Chains A and B, each alone.
Chain A
Amino acid sequence: DAGVIQSPRHEVTEMGQEVTLRCKPISGHNSLFWYRQTMMRGLELLIYFNNNVPIDDSGMPEDRFSAKMPNASFSTLKIQPSEPRDSAVYFCASSLEDPRNEQFFGPGTRLTVL
């Protein structure tokens, strides 16, 4: 298995632009998680899905952030409009069945907003 796939790996954009991050979870996993990691705030859970349904989005910073999971093999995290303080590494992770199980992380997307 290729593991969790994220794209792009790096994204540099200007303030105000829309950013879309993509994730393909491991086949057969039915829980998917979006995290953000910064030096200041550490690893933060933004949102997680179970069977394509958003379960907990309390970590989404504000309305500029939105996430979708249209099917079991694809999810997006969109930031519109982007701001410099959104600069971070965004990770997608998936797990089998129970979201309390072992999570498999993707390589991350490093986002820089100028």
Chain B
Amino acid sequence: SQQGEEDPQALSIQEGENATMNCSYKTSINNLQWYRQNSGRGLVHLILIRSNEREKHSGRLRVTLDTSKKSSSLLITASRAADTASYFCATAFGTSGSRLTFGEGTQLTVNP
């Protein structure tokens, strides 16, 4: 399975600190995506990074991709209590017609 595996499973930090979550996968990918899920809600897409990209930024989010290590990281800078949520990575195979495979998620808690 090429399912992404997030690390850590849970992370608790103080407001203002940075939060780093990691994702590892097993096979070649077309792209890797990060999603956020607030309690009781659907997943919301945060950022997509393609296999030929190494880093992407979106506001306070920074995503890196290392295809040689088959891993990605999501960094949230200057965290806020509102960032409390579960964060999932999702990987897409390189072959056309395949679909995303989601990991089990990291539960982030940002304490005010």
Contact = CB atoms under 8 A, between A and B. Distances in A.
Interface of A: 4, 31, 33, 42-43, 45, 48, 50, 55-56, 91, 93, 98-108
B42 to A, nearest CB: 3
Contacts of A4: 42
B102 A99 contact: no
B49 to A, nearest CB: 12
Nearest to B95: A100
B102 A42 contact: yes
B33 A108 contact: no
Nearest to B91: A100
B97 interface: yes
B99 A91 contact: no
A108 B43 CA distance: 10
A94 to B, nearest CB: 11
A43 B33 CA distance: 15
Q: How large is the interface on B (under 10, 10 to 19, 20 to 34, 35 or more residues)?
A: 20 to 34
Interface string B30-53: 110100000001111100100000
B27 to A, nearest CB: 14
Nearest to A102: B45
A98 B96 CA distance: 8
Query: DSSP majority for the B interface?
Result: strand
A93 B99 CA distance: 12
B55 to A, nearest CB: 18
B7 interface: no
Nearest to B47: A102
A100 B93 contact: yes
B98 A100 contact: yes
Contacts of B31: 100
B99 A104 contact: no
B41 A108 contact: yes
B100 A100 contact: yes
A50 B43 CA distance: 20
B105 A42 contact: yes
Nearest to A50: B97
Contacts of B101: 45
The 4 residue pairs across chains A and B that have the minimum distance between CB atoms: A105-B42, A100-B92, A99-B99, A105-B43
